[in-house]
């Protein structure tokens, strides 16, 4: 886990923001040379692979300023300070989709951009979905469309690049592999 470790010599904080920070570290390489690393700090996030009782995958469409377009993603959200990731996941599921889950199971955690960012996403499978009485609860400045699609429709969205982010691409492949069978409404976890 520490193979080829790069030791920090100096660390300069460039920016501290609402969501991300930026620092530039000078590091010593295994051969004694030095180099610079531009590093983004992010609080981490959760994402959810959630099938409705009808066996459809829940997706959300939203505008992503970084890409200057809207894309279709699995439900996700940033971890707030002090939150357990599983709590964040349950909260995001309810707020963003209007569904509650009997339980969540961690499927995989991964770094999104290990070359420059420390963001880690925890991907949960949501078991036993039910519509909540309140429905989705969005912030007044949050603009999100809810979609429920078959795995085949999600695969087509990947081909069309309407699904266009790594966590959702992973989720579509994972859901396809873990559907108990083609007519099933449940994931095999």
Our answer to whether residue 140 is catalytic in this structure is: yes
- Of the residues 54, 102, 133, 140, which is catalytic? 140
Using CB under 8 A, which of 83, 148, 153, 165 touches a copy of itself? 165
Give the per-residue contact string, 56-95, with a copy of itself (x = CB under 8 A; - = no). -----xxxxxxx-xxx-x----x-----------------
How far is Cα 25 from Cα 152, in angstroms, rounded to an integer?
45
How far is Cα 110 from Cα 119, in angstroms, rounded to an integer?
8
Between 114 and 128, name the residue whose CB sits nearer to a copy of itself: 114
**Within 100-129, which residues bind a copy of itself (CB under 8 A)?**
108-119, 121
How far is Cα 109 from Cα 129, in angstroms, rounded to an integer?
22
Using CB under 8 A, which of 95, 151, 167, 179 touches a copy of itself? 167
> Does 146 help bind a copy of itself (rule: CB under 8 A)?
no
CA dihedral 151, 76, 92, 44 (to 10 degrees): 150
Report whether 58 contacts 147 (CB < 8 A): yes
Report whether 56 contacts 179 (CB < 8 A): no
Report the nearest approach of a copy of itself to the CB of residue 63 (Å). Answer: 4
Closest by alpha carbon to 93, among 61, 135, 30, 54?
135
Using CB under 8 A, which of 10, 13, 29, 182 touches a copy of itself? 29
> What number of chain residues touch a copy of itself (CB under 8 A)?
71
Report the nearest approach of a copy of itself to the CB of residue 53 (Å). Answer: 25
Report whether 38 contacts 24 (CB < 8 A): yes
């Amino acid at each position: 886990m520490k193979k080829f470790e790069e030791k920090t010599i100096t660390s300069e904080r460039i920016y501290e923001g609402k969501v991300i920070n930026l620092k530039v570290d000078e590091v010593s390489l295994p051969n004694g040379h030095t180099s610079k690393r531009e590093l983004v700090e992010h609080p981490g996030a959760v994402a959810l692979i959630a099938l409705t009782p009808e066996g459809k995958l829940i997706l959300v469409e939203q505008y992503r300023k970084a890409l200057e377009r809207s894309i279709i993603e699995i439900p996700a959200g940033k971890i707030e300070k002090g939150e357990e990731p599983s709590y964040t996941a349950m909260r995001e599921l309810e707020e963003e989709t209007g569904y509650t889950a009997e339980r969540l199971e961690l499927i995989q955690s991964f770094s999104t951009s290990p070359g420059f960012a420390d963001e880690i996403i925890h991907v949960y499978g949501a078991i036993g979905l039910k519509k909540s009485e309140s429905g989705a609860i969005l912030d007044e400045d949050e603009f999100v469309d809810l979609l429920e699609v078959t795995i085949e429709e999600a695969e087509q969205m990947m081909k069309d690049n309407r699904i266009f982010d790594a966590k959702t691409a992973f989720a579509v492949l994972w859901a396809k592999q873990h559907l108990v069978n083609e007519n099933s409404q449940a994931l095999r976890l």
